[in-house]
Chains A and B, each alone.
Chain A
Amino acid sequence: MGGNVAWLATGSLARREVVRFLRQPARLIGAIAMPLIFWLLIGAGMGDSFRPSGISSEGGFLHYFFPGIVVLCVLFSAIYSTISIIEDRDAGFLQSVLVAPVPSWTIVGGKVLGGAILALGQGGLLLALAPLLGLPVAWWALVSTFAVLALIALSLTALGFVIAWKSESTQGFHAIMNILLMPMWILSGAFFPSQGASTVLAWIMAINPLTYGLSLVRHTLGLDEPSVLERLPSLEMSLGVSVIFLSVMVVWSCRVVRSRSRINR
C-alpha cells in the first residue's frame, strides 16, 4: 500500500505542474515562440555567411540547426519548470509535501515527471511544426524523435531539479542557467559539429552529455545529410550515454532531497 500512495502522490504532484502551466498562457507562448524566432533569425541570417564543415547543400544550415532548436526548446521548458521548486520552497508548499507521509523521492518524481511532460509537450509541438515549415521529415521519424525527446526531457528536468534545489534564489538559478546551460547547449553540436572546432572545444563537446542527446535526435529525425550523421557518435552510443545521463541525474536529485530538511528513517 505504501508504494501505491507514493505513486498516487507522484502523479498528483506532476498533474499540478501541468495545470499550473496551462493557467499561465504566457509561458506557453514564450516557450514555443522563442526557439522558433531563434531558428528563423539565426538560421536564415547566418545560413549564407556561415557554413559549418560537412554541410554542403543550399539551405543546409536551416536543416542542420532545426534539431538543435528542438533540443533548445526542451532544455528551456524543462529548466524553467523547475524554477517553481524555488517558489514552492519560499512559499510553504514544499514543506507541506515534506511533512506528508510519503517517501522523499515522490517530490523528485512529481516535479521531474511534471516538468518533463511540459518540456516534451513543447518540444513535440515544435517538432510537429516541421512539415509546415517545409522540412522534409517522415512521420515515423517524428514519432521516434518524440520518444527520444522524452528521454532528454526527463534528464534535463532532473538536472534543473538539482540546480533549483541547491539555489538560494531565482536570481542564482538564472545565473547558473546562463553560465552552465547555455554553453552546454551551444557546445552540443546544435550550432556546429565538433570536427570544425578547436581541440579544447571538441573535447568539451565529447564529454557534454547533451551532445549525445542531440546526436540521438539527429539520428532519429533524419534531416541531416549523411556526411553529418557519419561523424556523429553512433545511435547506440548516443542512446547509451543518454540513458546513463538520465540515471545519474535522477539518483542525484533523490540524494539532494534526502540530504536536506527532513527527518528520514
Chain B
Amino acid sequence: MKRLAVEVRDLQGSYGERLALDGLDFEVGSGECFAVLGPNGSGKSTLFSILSTLKQPDSGVVKVLGFDLLESPDAVRRSLGVVFQFPSLDKKLTVFENLWHQGHLHGLRGRGLRERVSSLLSRFGLGERHGERLETLSGGLARRVEIAKAMLHEPKILLLDEPSTGLDPRSRRDLADLLFGLGRESGTTVLLTTHLLEEADACSSVLILDEGKRVAMGTPDELKSQIGGGVITLESIELESLRKDLSQELRLEGKMVGTGLRFEVEDPHEVARRLGEGFGERLDLITIGKPSLEDVFLDRTGRSFNGSSAQPGGEG
C-alpha cells in the first residue's frame, strides 16, 4: 500500500453559517502532485483553511503524515509548508530577511539557517536578488520567494492555495515546472487548490469539488477517459429541432450548453462525418474536441464549470 501524506474522512466544515464541506473523503499519496479543482464557492478555501490548521472542522478526521490534525496540530504544522493566496511576505524587508524571520519561526538559526536560505534561493533562481526588498520584485519572482519561504523547514508536504492567481502565463508555466520539480527531486508531496482547469490537468491526481462534495477523483487521464472518446459541439440557429432529429435518427442524446449542443461520443470523427453528411446544411459550426476536465465536471454535475447551467436532453 502506498504511504499516505494526507487522509481526510467524512469531513464537514462551515463557512459562516453555510455548510461548505459536506462529508468529504479523499487521500493523497506520498510524492503526488494533487489538485483540488472546483469553481468559486465549491468549498476549496474552507478545505485549505482546515488543512493548513487555521480552521476547526465541524466533524470528521484529518490526518497529515499520520498525525491527527486536532490532537497534534504542531506536528502537522511542522510537516506542512503553506503558501497562501495572498502574499505573506513583508514588502519592507529584503528577500533574505523574509526567509531569515521565517526560519526563526521554525526554530532554525545561525549559520545553519543562513546556509539553508542561500542554497534555497540559488535553487529557486533567486540567488542574485537576496538583498533586494520585496517591493521591487515582479509578481512571478515574489511567488517564488513565497514558495521558498514555505519550503525553508523542509516540509514533506507543500500546501498551496490558488498558486497561480495574478500571474501571467509565462510565470504560471515557470511555477508549474518548479512545483513538479520539487516532487521529482525531493519527493515533496504537493497539494494545491485551483479553479484553473489547465493547472489541475498538469497534476498527477485531481479531486473535483462541487458544493462541498467530491464529484470525481483520479488521474486527469482516468477521469477524461470515463467520458468517452471525444466531445462534439454543434452550433445552429435551429438547435431545438436539430436536437430532436438527432435523437430520433442517430440516437444521439445531447445536452444544451450555453449556445451549443454537446455530445459525448466514442468515435467523434465517425459521428462528425455522419452529422456532416446528414445534417450539414442545418449546422453553422461543428467542433470536435478531446474530453477535458471541464467535460468531466459537466458530466458529473450537469453544470458547466464557469457557472452557466447545462440543460439536460429531454427537458429542453
Residues of A within 8 A of B (CB): 1, 4-5, 8-9, 11-13, 15-16, 19-20, 23-24, 90-93, 95-102, 261-265
8 A–B contacts, CB within 8 A, in A order: A16-B93, A16-B97, A91-B88, A92-B87, A93-B88, A98-B53, A98-B54, A101-B106
Known A95-B86, A101-B78; further 17 A-B contacts with Cβ < 8 A: A5-B107, A8-B104, A11-B104, A16-B93, A20-B90, A92-B84, A93-B89, A95-B54, A96-B84, A98-B53, A99-B52, A99-B53, A99-B80, A101-B77, A101-B105, A261-B54, A263-B69
The contact of A12 among B56, B70, B84, B104, by CB within 8 Å, is B104
B273 contacts chain A at the CB level, 8 A cutoff: no
A10 to B56, CA, bound (A): 25
Contact between A265 and B104, CB atoms less than 8 A apart: no
Residues of B within 8 A of A (CB): 52-56, 69-75, 77-78, 80, 82, 84-90, 92-93, 97, 100-102, 104-107, 109, 149
Majority SS at the chain B contact face = loop
A92 to B106, CA, bound (A): 17
Closest to A9 in B: B105
Contact between A265 and B72, CB atoms less than 8 A apart: yes
Contact between A265 and B101, CB atoms less than 8 A apart: no
A91 to B101, CA, bound (A): 17
A204 to B263, CA, bound (A): 77
Min C-beta distance of A118 to chain B, whole Å: 14
The contact of A95 among B75, B78, B88, B100, by CB within 8 Å, is B88
Contact between A100 and B87, CB atoms less than 8 A apart: no
Contact A263:B56 (CB < 8 A) given known A101-B74, A101-B77: yes
Residues of A contacting B84 in the complex (Cβ-Cβ under 8 angstroms): 92, 95-96
Residues of A contacting B56 in the complex (Cβ-Cβ under 8 angstroms): 263
Contact A263:B82 (CB < 8 A) given known A13-B101, A93-B90, A100-B106: no
Residues of B contacting A96 in the complex (Cβ-Cβ under 8 angstroms): 82, 84, 88, 102, 105, 149
Min C-beta distance of B87 to chain A, whole Å: 6
Contact between A23 and B107, CB atoms less than 8 A apart: no
Residues of A contacting B92 in the complex (Cβ-Cβ under 8 angstroms): 19-20, 23-24
Contact between A262 and B54, CB atoms less than 8 A apart: yes
Closest to B79 in A: A101
A100 to B77, CA, bound (A): 6
Residues of B contacting A13 in the complex (Cβ-Cβ under 8 angstroms): 101
Instruction: Kindly name the residue among B80, B88, B93, B105 whose own CB sees the greatest number of chain A CB atoms within 10 A.
Output: B105
A95 to B52, CA, bound (A): 9
Instruction: Kindly name the residue among A11, A19, A24, A90 whose own CB sees the greatest number of chain B CB atoms within 10 A.
Output: A19
Contact between A16 and B107, CB atoms less than 8 A apart: no
Contact A1:B107 (CB < 8 A) given known A12-B101, A263-B70: yes
The contact of B82 among A24, A99, A262, by CB within 8 Å, is A99
Contact between B70 and A16, CB atoms less than 8 A apart: no
A93 to B55, CA, bound (A): 16
Instruction: Kindly name the residue among A4, A95, A97, A265 whose own CB sees the greatest number of chain B CB atoms within 10 A.
Output: A95
Contact between A264 and B85, CB atoms less than 8 A apart: no
Min C-beta distance of A200 to chain B, whole Å: 42
A76 to B5, CA, bound (A): 48
A102 to B78, CA, bound (A): 10
Min C-beta distance of B20 to chain A, whole Å: 15
Instruction: Kindly name the residue among A91, A101, A262, A265 whose own CB sees the greatest number of chain B CB atoms within 10 A.
Output: A101
Min C-beta distance of B55 to chain A, whole Å: 7
The contact of B54 among A99, A102, A265, by CB within 8 Å, is A99
The contact of B53 among A8, A15, A262, by CB within 8 Å, is A262
The contact of A97 among B55, B100, B105, B109, by CB within 8 Å, is B105
Contact between B104 and A9, CB atoms less than 8 A apart: yes
Contact between B93 and A19, CB atoms less than 8 A apart: yes
